[in-house]
Amino acid sequence: MPPFAPTELLGHAFRRPELLRQALTHRSFGADHNERLEFIGDSILNCAVALALYRRFPQLPEGELSRIRANLVNKDTLCRLALTLDLGSAIRLGEGELRSGGASRPSILADALEAVFGAIFLDDGFDAADGAIGRIYAGEIACIDPSGLAKDPKTRLQEWLQGRKLAVPDYEVVAARGEAHLQIFDVVCRIPALDIAATGSGPSRRAAEQAAAAAAYEQATGA
């Protein structure tokens, strides 16, 4: 059994252990990989987190709940949680991915954790998956302070533009630099109506988009 122990860490003992094995198999390893389970897990995660937030914050409007959920289910949070579970040590990778540091790559870790949630759902239904997600996310949800949760740069920029009846910006990856497991992405955020093309960089596409949005907002508002 790999170091990742689902019964201990997720509170779930698999009736069909082959589902866990598939969830922890990257496409570089073989044809029976985890992408379909990731697809299921993504939906289950969104639903479970939405329910948890709905119950915990009965007074919050839909927009605020959606914003908090987006912060909880993004790849950065999933990667951080996967690292706390030592998930990378259990993922089956092809030789190339293994040599290039795939076991610590944020996208692989995040996708594998979603696949595990999908595997639990198929193994024992929504309640089992919801329980596992609740245990893994307990610390994240417990420390949420809606009043102190700042809007991320992309949301702030989009709302500023929409308030002025301008189209939402376009984001384009223009470069990816560095080793495969330590890549830096360059993204351009374009707002044609304002003749703005701001660039941002980060260790993931999402992080680079956020940096570009922050730069674009600064140009647009002079902030």
pLDDT value at position 17?
92
Domain ranges (residues) in the chain: 6-147, 153-221
Topology of domain 153-221 in CATH is Double Stranded RNA Binding Domain (3.30.160)
pLDDT value at position 16?
95
pLDDT value at position 177?
87
Whether 6-147 and 153-221 share one fold: the answer is: no
Q: What CATH architecture is 6-147?
A: Orthogonal Bundle (1.10)
The pLDDT averaged over each successive group of 10 residues in the chain (223 residues) is 64 92 94 96 97 93 87 89 90 89 88 96 96 94 74 86 92 87 88 95 89 94 76
pLDDT value at position 143?
84
Contact (CB, 8 A) for 217 and 155 = no
pLDDT value at position 1?
39
pLDDT value at position 206?
86
pLDDT value at position 22?
96
Catalytically active residues, by annotation: 42, 114
